[in-house]
């Protein structure tokens, strides 16, 4: 009985580790454009576009190489797009605290 309990714990640990490594984690991004600074949770997805918590955008992509956040409104044409410079990426823990402390 003790051995099966240990095997169950090891299996659970492997599953949790696989989920953490495979599933994209949310990040708290602080971004800026024209002296306006905003902070929002960005969640990368398996598709082309990510999710930005404070935007009703149809397309959001964070380019880690150039540190730019590309936000577009309008599903088909993507003509109304804006680029923001990411000035800080605070990571998963900060995203969780931001989400919990946010009113409403």
Mean pLDDT of 24-39: 86
User: Can you state the percent helix, strand and coil of the chain, rounding each to 5?
Assistant: 30, 40, 30
22 pLDDT above the threshold of 70:
yes
The reported pLDDT for the residue numbered 99 is 81
The reported pLDDT for the residue numbered 62 is 86
Alpha-carbon separation of residue 103 from 35, 89, 93, 95 (angstroms): 25, 22, 18, 14
The reported pLDDT for the residue numbered 1 is 56
54 pLDDT above the threshold of 60:
yes
- Token pair, residue 30, equals 């602080």
Domain ranges of the chain: 25-101
Of 75, 70, 100, which Cα lies nearest the Cα of 86?
Answer: 70
CB 43 within 8 A of CB 99: no
The pLDDT-based confidence of 98 (bands split at 50, 70, 90) is: confident
pTM, two decimal places: 0.69
Q: Distance between CA 86 and CA 23 in Å, rounded? A: 22
CA 97, 39, 53, 104 dihedral sign is: positive
pLDDT above 70: percentage of residues in the chain = 91
């Amino acid at each position: 009985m003790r051995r099966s309990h240990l095997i169950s714990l090891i299996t659970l640990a492997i599953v949790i580790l696989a989920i953490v490594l495979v599933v994209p984690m949310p990040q708290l991004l602080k971004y800026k454009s024209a002296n306006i600074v905003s902070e929002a949770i960005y969640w990368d997805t398996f598709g082309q576009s990510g999710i930005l918590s404070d935007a009703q955008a149809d397309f959001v992509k964070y380019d880690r190489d150039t540190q730019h956040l590309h936000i577009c409104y309008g599903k088909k044409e993507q003509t109304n797009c804006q680029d923001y410079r990411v000035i800080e990426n605070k990571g998963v823990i900060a995203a969780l605290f931001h989400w919990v402390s946010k009113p409403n």
